Amino acid sequence: MKKLAIILGTRPEAVKYGPVIKVLKKDHRFELCVISTGQHKEMLEQALMIFDIIPDVELNIMKPGQSLCEISTKIMNGLQTVLPAIKPSAIIVHGDTATTLAGALAGFYQQIPVIHVEAGLRSGHLHSPFPEEGNRKLVAQIAALHLAPTPGNATNLLREGIKESNIVITGNTGVDALKWAIGKKHVPRHPIFNRLGNDRRKLILASAHRRESWHRLPGIVNAISSLAKRGDVLFIIPLHKNPVIRQVFVQVLSHSSNVLLIEPLDYLDFCHLMKQVDIILSDSSGAEEEGPTLGKPTLVLRNVTERPEATLSGSATLIGTSESRIVSGVASMLDNLEHYSATPRRTDHYGDGHASTRVIDAIARFLGI
């Protein structure tokens, strides 16, 4: 039996690890230790509960207003004590957060093999997204096993000099989580669902939070305000917990009759809301995967993306962050929604729902079991 240490700290990590942990718990080849950094504590706990994940170790590093340097330092200091006590055969990090980079560095410094899930995503622009593009490129230099969601991700790694024998294409475990959530018998609990039942307006699920777009938030919010003046549309906006972001949305949109500002939904409710809406408008990496997987028109509030598969096929569209482009792009989609919906589109860019099994099989081969 091999001991694995999974390191997580944000809601997206918990969601994308959820299916992997469910399978690992039933696999007698592994002993599992889940380490939570608590990077995004409130949102993280919500996702952990839905996937029945109880961390074995809590670093509890969260406090308001921390810098990226403070977050990373606290995580590394915590893991410096925890990892020698656990003695894992490998540590697993996911994606591109501060938890990912700090966890990988802590493992590397203690000469523990690092396994990188969701490896190889590249926008080609170091500051977009920031700091995620830098984080994932740095992790690639010290990881021993790279689990790439798509062939394009694997090609990125090969281009950077990673050996082909150290790369496995698995699909994205986030698709596993989404398919599980949509297929689960669930009665949405948020009161918004009662309001949407008989609403004839076209529903747009919107969000924006990326650090590199903070200076663009006023334009994004003004575009939504302008579009909300149409009588045929309703924007639903789960407010980000970050007060920098929240303030901009509330200040401009709180009195719009065609905008609903709500608190963040739990993951199951959020998946069912995505299934119900007509359009997804977001700069979220999760939305870039989930929208096309659900076959929803997805408009991406970014100029570049590390997930080009859907945009290249037309399943998602980059519309940038300028007010004018957002207004014209969303208006065009609203006016042509029937045509879009009637056009067959690929929905399997990021996986088939079985990535978790491939991830675990790849780890087992890597560890020789």
Domains (ranges, CATH) in the chain? 2-172+352-366 (3.40.50.2000), 192-342 (3.40.50.2000)
- Residue 272 among the catalytic residues: no
Q: What is the pLDDT of residue 340?
A: 83
Is 45 one of the catalytic residues? no
Amino acid at 101: L
70 as an active site residue: the answer is no
Point out the catalytic residue in the list 13, 118, 176, 309. Answer: 118
pLDDT at position 19 is 97
Does residue 354 have an active-site annotation?
no
Taking Cα atoms as reference points, which of 2, 8, 10 lies closest to residue 34?
A: 8
Provide the token pair at 212. 């590199």
Selecting among 116, 122, 190, 209, the annotated active-site residue is 209
**Annotated catalytic residue 211:** yes
> What pLDDT sits at residue 14?
96
Reading the block at residue 57, the tokens are 């170790």
Please state the separation of Cα 311 from the chain's center in Å.
17
Residue from 125, 186, 201, 211 carrying the catalytic annotation: 211
10-residue block means of pLDDT along the chain (369 residues)? Answer: 96 96 95 94 86 95 88 96 97 97 98 98 95 97 98 98 98 97 88 87 94 89 96 94 90 92 94 95 94 95 95 93 96 91 83 97 97
**Which residue is it, tokens 């949102």?**
43
Q: Give residue 20's identity as a one-letter amino acid code.
A: V
Question: Residue 77: what residue type?
Answer: N
Catalytic residue of the set 240, 325, 345, 354:
240
Single out the catalytic residue among 11, 94, 96, 133.
96
* pLDDT at residue 132 in the model: 96
Matching residue, tokens 């230099």:
141
DSSP bridge pairs for 300: 282, 318
The answer to whether the predicted template modeling score (pTM) of the entire model surpasses 0.85 is yes
Provide the pLDDT for residue 54. 95
Q: What pLDDT is stored for residue 273 in this prediction?
A: 96
pLDDT computed for residue 343 by the predictor: 79
Catalytic status, residue 200: no
